[in-house]
Amino acid sequence: MGYESSLHDNKRIGIRLKYLSNGEGNLRDSIVYSYEGSHIEYDIANQQYYVKESVYGFVRPPYTQRWLGRSMQFNDKLSSDLQKVYNEESPVRYSKVTENYYVNQSYKGAAQFEYSTFQRYSFSTFGGGAPYKSVGRIFFSSNYMGSNGLMCSTMELETSPRQFPDFFVSTNYLGKEINLLKKTDFKYENSILTPVKRETYNYQQILTPAYNSLKVRLFLEGESTEYDEVYSFSGLDSYFSYGTSSLYGCSSTLVSKKTETFDGTAPLEESAIYSYNNDQQLMSQTLSTSDGRNRKDIFVYPANYLSGVAWIDNLISRNVRSPFLEKVSTIDGKVVAGIINIYNSNSLLQTVSKLKLSQPVALSLFKFSNRVLGVEPPTGTLSTFSSDSRYAKDYEIISYNNYSKPQELKKLDDAITVYLWGYGGQYPIIEIKNATYAEVVSVLTQATIDNLNSISQTEATMESLIKAASDKLRSDSRLAKAMVTTYTYKPLVGMTSKTDGRGIKETYTYDGMQRLQAVLDHLNHVNRSFDYHYRSN
């Protein structure tokens, strides 16, 4: 791995990745990076996030003039560590990045990535119904008390009101999100780079409120009179200039993707179109191929139903809106597949049902779970949940553990399977087919199961605990019909072993970059090995 200076406007700003290399001598494989179109993403800091207030005493200017006031100073940069994050440590973005691939030091091809650039927009307007606001003023007949102080002796209300601007509105947009616009894969043959595949992406930019504030400025007034009268402020709120400031973030959604594959003749094209609902959830995706066929997936979410079904109303009340409840797939306008997910009172998946079809069904004869028969969302009106009669239960999750992980699962026309989890609830470690969780607890005890998730366990002790538990499950007569499979892991890397129902163990080893290197059989002989090389797609 190597780095180089990251350049912007001929200035060295940090470092960037230059190459990745693996191997030795002539057997070295590498990815070498090149960059174009740099820009710095610091504009996010140029907002009035940080406000500093300064209060000034009463100061005596020349003989005929007095000043009295308090000012608000606004800093347009973040302070302290925040300023470093958004200014000094702002990332350098590139509009084009190329990965060049070398195998055994021989150039094989490249992948080129093109990105959108960051843009920032802002505008200000005056609002409040009227451009000015009338306010009264107080003035003092006064005497001095030193150069930095003022003592007032009499006070009167000025009869004629003054006018000040009411308020202004400032809106700032942080601009377009950085998105991948195009990816092109090249092969290198006969000293020429030739494209073999190109993917082009289009996005819709969506503004989302991210930060709202009120900007306040206090007018500073001075007067010059023969009686040395000084105008001051009473009811300070009347003398502030108010300005609302809104900072908007900008997110984006993918609306289309085109894939071109080049084989030396006419390119093969596939296009995908994506549509979204008002919550910016994927509502449908349509894939069109070069042979003229169209596959469409339609998604239905919890908020897309009328209230009245308890488990859906529970999802809404818990603000669980992201998982789809129904997905229907069509090919050339006919339904070919469907899936419905039902959730329990804890908003966890409970049952999964799938369409059982002997042949494709016309849309006019199919019922979406939130529409009447023959109506495809988003057309038509919402209804309460009622699915097509051809759905059948595929599997059911009977219970979950304290980590909200599946504990008992029953597939269609199959026996119950129990899963025990370990390593702090991260990984499934024991699978027991043809047994219930209650039967497993009667053999192991709940304390033994809980100990498998103790954070004090090491990899070595976990292997011992898992083996002891599995041996007990396999040997107990109460689970004579059960099939027990066990798994061990290296956390954050991968599975290190699997022991099947026959007691045959398979071991997995990893290289220095934590990639799967070899699969060993129960005699520790290499069954499969893996070598890694870089090449273009």
Q: Residues 66, 14: contact at Cβ < 8 Å?
A: no
User: Do β-strands 516-520 and 505-510 pair in parallel, antiparallel, or remain unpaired?
Assistant: antiparallel
| DSSP output for 153-174 | EEEEEEEEEEEEEEEEEEEEE-
Distances (CA, A) of 406 to 143, 348, 437: 82, 9, 11
Dihedral, 54, 55, 58, 59 alpha carbons, nearest 10: -10
> How far is Cα 68 from Cα 229, in angstroms, rounded to an integer?
11
Q: What is the pLDDT of residue 271?
A: 96
CA atoms within 13 A on the CB side of 498: 12
Q: What is the pLDDT of residue 220?
A: 42
> How far is Cα 331 from Cα 139, in angstroms, rounded to an integer?
81
Q: Which of 369, 484, 370, 502 is nearest to 429 (CA)?
A: 484
> How far is Cα 187 from Cα 175, in angstroms, rounded to an integer?
36
pLDDT per residue as tens digits for the range 272-317: 999 999 888 999 999 998 888 999 999 999 999 999 999 999 999 9
Domain boundaries, the chain: 41-88+117-255, 277-395, 401-537
Per-10-residue mean pLDDT of the chain, 537 residues long, equals 74 78 75 86 39 33 36 36 45 87 89 78 40 33 32 31 37 60 94 94 76 48 38 40 51 90 86 93 94 94 97 96 97 97 97 97 97 96 97 96 96 93 96 97 96 92 95 95 96 95 94 90 92 61
Bridge partner residues of 258 (DSSP): 200, 271
Non-local CB neighbours of 273 within 8 Å, separated by 6+ positions: 255, 256, 285, 286, 288
> How far is Cα 166 from Cα 133, in angstroms, rounded to an integer?
5
Q: What is the pLDDT of residue 320?
A: 95
Non-local CB neighbours of 468 within 8 Å, separated by 6+ positions: none
User: Do β-strands 391-400 and 526-529 pair in parallel, antiparallel, or remain unpaired?
Assistant: unpaired
| R_g over Cα of the chain | 35
Token output for 478: 């109460």
Most distant CA atoms of the chain, gap in Å: 110
Q: Residues 327, 338: contact at Cβ < 8 Å?
A: yes
Q: Residues 218, 239: contact at Cβ < 8 Å?
A: yes
Q: What is the pLDDT of residue 38?
A: 81
> How far is Cα 19 from Cα 1, in angstroms, rounded to an integer?
6
Q: What is the pLDDT of residue 133?
A: 34
Find the distance separating the first CA and the last CA of the chain, reported in whole Å. 22
Token output for 140: 């003092």
On whether the pTM is more than 0.75, the answer is: no
Distances (CA, A) of 324 to 303, 347, 404, 414, 416: 10, 13, 19, 26, 26
> For residues 389-402, b (16+ Cβ closer than 10 Å) or e, as one string?
ebbeeebbbbebbe
The residue type found at 536 is: S
Q: What is the pLDDT of residue 249?
A: 58
pLDDT per residue as tens digits for the range 181-233: 999 999 999 899 999 999 999 988 776 655 555 544 444 444 433 333 333 44
Write down how long the chain is: 537
Distances (CA, A) of 195 to 184, 188, 199, 381: 7, 9, 11, 47
Non-local CB neighbours of 136 within 8 Å, separated by 6+ positions: 157, 158, 161, 162, 235, 238
Can you give 87-133 as a three-state secondary structure string?
HHCCCEEEEEEEEEEEECCEEEEEEEEEECCCCCEEEEEEEEEEEEE
β strands within 423-510, DSSP E: 427-433, 483-490, 494-499, 505-510
At residue 332, the 3 state secondary structure works out as: coil
Give the DSSP letter of residue 444: H
